[in-house]
Amino acid sequence: MTDPTPDIPETPDSQANALPLQAAELIADEARRAPDKPGVYRMYGEDGACLYVGKAKSLKKRVVQYAQGRFHTQRIGLMVSLTRSMELVVTASETEALLLESNFIKKLKPRFNVVLRDDKSFAELMIRRDHRAPQVRKHRGAHTIPGDYFGPFASTWAVNHTLNTLQKAFLLRSCSDSVYETRTRPCMLHQIKRCSAPCTGLISLEDYGDLVTEAEQFLRGKSRAVIARLSQEMQAASDELDFETAARVRDRIRALSAIAMESSVNADGVAEADVFALHAEGGQACVQVFFYRAGQNWGGRAYFPRVDRSDSDPEILAAFLGQFYEDKPVPRLILSNVRPHELELLEEAFSMKAERRVEITRPQRGGKASLVDHALTNAREALGRKLAENSAQSKILDEVCEAFGLDTRPERIEVYDNAHIQGTNAVGGMIVAGPDGFRKNQYRKFNIKGEDLTPGDDYGMMREVMRRRFGRLVKDEEAGEAVERPDLLLIDGGAGQLAEVLAVMADLGVDDIAVVGVAKGPDRDAGKEHFFMPGKPPFMLPLKSPALYYIQRMRDEAHRFANGAHAKRRSMDIKKNPLDEIEGVGPGRKKALLHAFGSAKGVSRASVADLVKVDGVSQALAERIHGFFHKS
């Protein structure tokens, strides 16, 4: 007897339960549950990498648009076809959504977004206010130390130049607190008239405070008032026939006048502004930024964000500004040659972030327009140089691809080198290069930690470096994080080094990456390098080959980076204080001991009875300190 129940055809819902949704079907499913509220949405691909981050006034309406296939470009259609999952985050307002979108883009670097690359922090000058004798110094990062911050400065040269001028003109200290507290006589900076030596009482704290106030006024743009006051002081000293004092003040005036003229701005009403100019050509874009503070030009920098040919200039600039100011203070005025997309929303977001009104404007005439035109000229020239370099770089990478038998042009090349002196302070260095040149923000150093290594064991050091580098890569990939695999590894060494590297990578399951050993030629002559690859006899490249020259440059850069890291570690080791090795002597007791005896050598000469007199040092600790220095 047959079952009277008819066959039920498989419905689309049952098919959806059988197979995971993807692309437009997945987005349509998300649209049914998406709230009609502002927020941020993220699209992810097959490998878990983020494809796109966007914000919307209404998440539901925006996601429905993707589900209905209303795409403005083929690029967006491709993005939808690659989507395998989505995540939605609801925010209180569209302004908050804009700030969160910029944060996600900067962190995840999605494939289909305009992405700001090479976003390094800028240096600032800081006058510390947590010490009786305020210190002036360079600063990077968050404003966690009480004090006055001035910047940003676009280059290390600019901030160093200004710092040197401040030392000449205002004689402010730059030493650390620990050095300040232990000084018994003026240092060399006082001898060359760069510091007024408040540490030894050669200037009263009240008079030193006046110098600090003058420096602060100068950095806030009141240079004319400061110079006028110094001129009066010089004239008064001259009238009293105190020519030595008059000469010192004259030197200070010269230093201030020089920097004031170098960085002066010919633009009325520009006290604080960032100037942006965007120029796009050939599918690439350059954004030139200049910083103006206190009526002075504090330098600029050119950026080359990752863009698509379909991105409009207003969209590029809006995305760039959002990411640029994600971790930087926003000035009161932003000038640009392009009106960014959703300008009012950007102004609202920046004003909320800065807790004061921020204006974004495109000047049409006058001094402000001249500043923007100057930035645009720099943007055009920088992009022209970049396009020319990229064309030549592409040809070189094609030759590298041919020389080593690679399937495709390498986008990421990692070069490794070790540095040590008879095995001490061993450091491994990794540099990264690609179509855009050296990627210095991705350089890495590895302090060799293996305790079982024989001093000077280059093979063992390279094994440790490779295990740590690619062990981390495998771990991140297993966790679903977006990581960038190298296409080519260049190892400083011959067949032995190559074999060690290949063995480690095989153990970690990453043996699908091309590895080449680069051995120096006879007498370490450049141009006579031998190259080693698995399954091939050693070979050389033609002496005039651009690929050989490029490899030499990368090897030299890796050598420079590794040696620099080694020298820094060695210097730190030399400066290490013996007191750091004594159990029970922390920063507080160390400071008290140095203050009491002047130096670690002075502590070593002290008796137990003298040590006990130091605040915080007990009888037991005094005996331990004394025993440490008198082990024999």
Query: Residue 451: what pLDDT?
Result: 66
- State whether 493 and 530 are in the same domain: yes
Structural domain includes residue 231: no
CATH number at residue 603: 1.10.150.20
Tokens of 190: 């006082």
The verdict on residue 142 lying in a domain is no
pLDDT digits (tens, 9 = 90+) for 254-300: 766 655 554 454 555 677 899 999 999 878 899 999 988 877 777 78
Q: What pLDDT, on a 0 to 100 scale, did the predictor assign at position 339? A: 93
| 72 and 46 co-located in one domain | yes
CATH of the domain at 77: 3.40.1440.10
Task: Indicate the burial class of 34 (C-beta count within 10 angstroms; 0-12, 13-18, 19 or more).
Answer: buried
pLDDT level of residue 412 (50, 70, 90 thresholds): very high
74 pLDDT higher than 60: yes
Q: With a threshold of 0.75, does the pTM exceed it?
A: no
What phi and psi values does residue 283 have, to the nearest 5 degrees? 80, 5
Query: What mean pLDDT is predicted for residues 323-346?
Result: 91
Helix, strand or coil, per DSSP, at residue 382: helix
Same domain, 507 and 617: no
- Tell me, yes or no, whether 560 and 585 share the same domain: no
Range of the domain at 35: 28-108
Asked whether residue 608 falls in the same domain as residue 544, the answer is no
Q: Cα separation of 463 and 409, whole Å?
A: 27
Same domain, 563 and 458: yes
Nearest-angstrom CA–CA distance, 151 and 163: 12
Confidence at 130, pLDDT banded by 50, 70, 90: confident
- Counting the structural domains of the chain, the total is 4
pLDDT value, residue 77: 83
Question: Is residue 74 one of the residues assigned to a domain?
Answer: yes
Kindly state the helix (H) or strand (E) to which residue 553 belongs, with its residue range.
Answer: helix 546-575
Q: 168-206, pLDDT tens digit by residue?
A: 778 888 888 888 888 888 888 888 878 889 998 888 998
3-state secondary structure of 54: strand
Residue 117 lies in a domain: no
Mean residue pLDDT of the chain comes to 83
pLDDT of residue 1: 41
Q: Residue 2: what pLDDT?
A: 41
Q: Supply the CATH number for residue 464's domain.
A: 3.30.420.340
Instruction: Answer yes or no: is 289 within a domain.
Output: yes
| Domain-ending residue, one of 89, 108, 127 | 108
Tell me how crowded residue 167 is: count the other CB atoms within 10 A of its CB. Answer: 21
Final residue in a domain of this structure, among 385, 403, 438: 385
The answer to whether residue 485 sits within a structural domain is yes
Query: Strand 136-139's sheet: what is its strand order?
Result: 136-139, 123-128, 147-153
Q: How far, in Å, are 93, 107, 139 from residue 40 at the CA level?
A: 11, 14, 34
The mean per-residue pLDDT over the stretch 288-313 comes to: 85
Mean pLDDT to the nearest integer, 512-530: 78
> How would you label 450-471 residue by residue, b for 16+ Cβ within 10 Å and e otherwise?
eeebeeebbbbbbbbbbbbbbe
- What is the tens place of the pLDDT at every residue in 77-116? 888 888 888 899 999 999 999 989 988 998 888 989 888 8
For the stretch 287-297, pLDDT in tens is 999 988 877 77
Angle, CA of 132, 135 and 140, to the nearest 5°:
135
- Regarding whether 546 and 427 lie in a shared domain, the answer is yes
Question: Are both 429 and 518 inside the same structural domain?
Answer: yes
Shared domain for 344 and 379, answered yes or no, is: yes
Same structural domain, 458 and 530? yes
Whether 471 shows a pLDDT value over 70: the answer reads: yes
pLDDT of residue 7: 43
Which of 13-17, 128-132, 546-550 has the least mean pLDDT?
Answer: 13-17
Report which of residues 225 and 103 the model is more confident about. 103
Alpha helices in 152-242 (DSSP H): 156-170, 177-182, 188-191, 205-219, 223-239
Domain boundary among the residues 573, 591, 619 is at 573
Residue 333 domain-assigned?
A: yes
Residues 518 and 539 in one domain: yes
The answer on 452 and 332 residing in a single domain is no
The verdict on residue 612 lying in a domain is yes
